Structure 1
Amino acid sequence: MNTREVIDKYYESANAGDWDTWLTLFDDNVVVDEQLAGHIEGIEIMRGAIGGIERGYSKFQNNPQHVVIDGNEASVVSHISAANATGVPIEANVANYFRLENGKISYMANFHDTRPFDPFVNQRLN
């Protein structure tokens, strides 16, 4: 897949809750700087985070508003419309940066105001 196809599949699979497909888009040695989770290294850490995403959100949609592709790099401005496990709404604008190597995401960073995610971060999950 080319860069645009990987980026499109990233949002498509995340919005469908298809985390198995989503994980295939990342290099095994991926590095992620995630606004809420911090610095992450390796696909196994990403795989482990899926459970928290599935338990922590009752709804999650990340809709791209503006996509810029330049070779093996992409920047995406998007809007997240989500809800925590008990349905408390979360609305946030986000910017993601991606770098790909050999058709896989090797580095990703996201940037957003963390306050809208308080209902996710501060909830108690069993």
Structure 2
Amino acid sequence: PDEIAAVLEADGLTGDQAQERFGRRDTFELAAELYARVPRRHPEPPPRTDPWAARPGRFVFRGLVFALPGLGYALGAPFLSGPPDVLGLPAGSGALTTSALVGWAWNQALAHRAYTR
């Protein structure tokens, strides 16, 4: 009730005005009446969602997106046929290594994005 009286007085309601308008001795008596009139009910907490509820479409899509770098390996495989390069590695090893590094970075970025959502 004291906080209500403080708000009433901060809004410019004086003890005389409380007596004239509302028939109360002062703002504290008016605040006590206002406090008594308002029912105090705490809202029910929202229903908890089941963290284990599966949404197959979302997981299938995420799996396909995470498997996308594998497409780079499949596309890079034809480059491995041929004579060895300068370092003695199969031809196209650089392209396959680059594809692997880009794929790892891609998966890390997607995993971070999925984690922060």
Taking structure 2 as the reference length, the TM-score comes to 0.22
Larger RCO (alpha carbons 8 Å, 6+ apart) = 1
Taking structure 1 as the reference length, the TM-score comes to 0.21
Structure richer in helix, relative to its length? 2
Structure richer in strand, relative to its length? 1
